[in-house]
A = this chain, B = another copy of it.
Amino acid sequence: MNTSPTEPAPPGTDRSGPSALGSAPENRRRTRADRARQVAEVLRRQIASGAFASGLLPNERVLIADFAVSRNTVREALGVLRDEGVIERRQGVGTVIVRRPYEHTLERLTGLAETLRSHGEVVNQVRVADVVRPPGEVARKLHVPDGGRVVYIERLRLLDGVPLSLDLTYLAADIGEPLLAADLAGRDLFGLIEQSTGGRLGSASVTVHAVSGDPHTCELLGIPAGSALFTVERLTRLPDGRPVDLEYLRIRGDRLAFRAELVRAAAPENGAVRQAGTER
């Protein structure tokens, strides 16, 4: 399966540039869709990271030369990004970037509005703010005793008037009840909790899934049914380790990306693997 780098491309291999992507003999079965995906992946990240300040993609000729692929491959790649809602073809203008996602860090614990405030105004439509009996799983995670109550807050969050996420939040009662009278429409819960408790929050465990949104959620978020969403569970603790804030966030995939800086562990990899293996 390995390919000698010096092996010449065979005649008849579809290559349109000086060194088309993946053109060696073993790769002959590669289709245009394979090459288009390669182009689309790079372009998606370029768009998201703000590479095209004009808001326009380079024209086809430039992309053909840069990626060393055929015109049809470039068009298919642009089709992938168009279907994702990233770009749009506009008559007489060119290929326009419709939207690029904001990046939210997964390194420090920050509220959405904290991160995004500089990009636009975050407004929350409060759909529920109430005291409820929690489901068993929520009670366990928040260490609520049998028969105890929690505060449930549900908010649709908009950035510059466009829906960004639907946030379902369960708060320990002593933490949440003072917040029922607070500015839930204008503030992050993190900031409100810290103001109310007079101290910083401590840490959080976060899990991120990717799902196709159900019709009802997508309608609320203003996107076609089945659009890709992040669903995030975030359990936040006080500095003493007490869990107080359990959130289930559904975030539009086209409006947010997560970013992290990772460091390679110094330990030998076999040890790390064995440790990870004990987790489930």
Q: Could you tell me which A residues sit within 8 Å of B by CB distance?
A: 1-5, 17-24, 26-27, 30-31, 33-34, 36-42, 44-46, 48-51, 66-68, 80, 83-84, 101, 103, 105-110, 114-115, 117-119, 126-133, 135-138, 149, 151-152, 154, 166, 168, 177, 180-182, 184-185, 190-191, 194, 200-212, 214, 216-217, 226-231, 233, 248, 250-251, 253, 257-266, 269, 272-274, 276-277, 279-280
Quickly give the copy total for this chain. Answer: 2
Given A101-B209, A135-B66, A137-B51, A180 and B2 contact (CB-CB distance below 8 Å): yes
Instruction: Choose one: B3, B45, B137, B264; the contact of A200 (CB below 8 Å).
Output: B264
Look across to chain B and name the residue whose beta carbon is closest to the beta carbon of A261. B205
Name the distance in Å between A274's Cβ and chain B's nearest Cβ: 7
Pair A37/B216 contact, Cβ less than 8 Å: yes
Pair B262/A84 contact, Cβ less than 8 Å: no
Pair B277/A132 contact, Cβ less than 8 Å: no
8 nearest CB pairs, A to B: A118-B277, A210-B253, A5-B131, A33-B216, A41-B248, A22-B128, A19-B133, A109-B262
In angstroms, Cα B18 to Cα A106, docked, is: 38
Pair A84/B208 contact, Cβ less than 8 Å: no
Pair B48/A273 contact, Cβ less than 8 Å: no
In angstroms, Cα B107 to Cα A207, docked, is: 12
Pair B177/A37 contact, Cβ less than 8 Å: no
Look across to chain B and name the residue whose beta carbon is closest to the beta carbon of A69. B135
In angstroms, Cα B22 to Cα A129, docked, is: 7
Pair A257/B109 contact, Cβ less than 8 Å: no
Pair A262/B214 contact, Cβ less than 8 Å: no
Which residues from B are CB-within-8-Å of A261? Answer: 203-206
Pair B83/A27 contact, Cβ less than 8 Å: no
Which residues from B are CB-within-8-Å of A42? Answer: 135, 137-138, 248
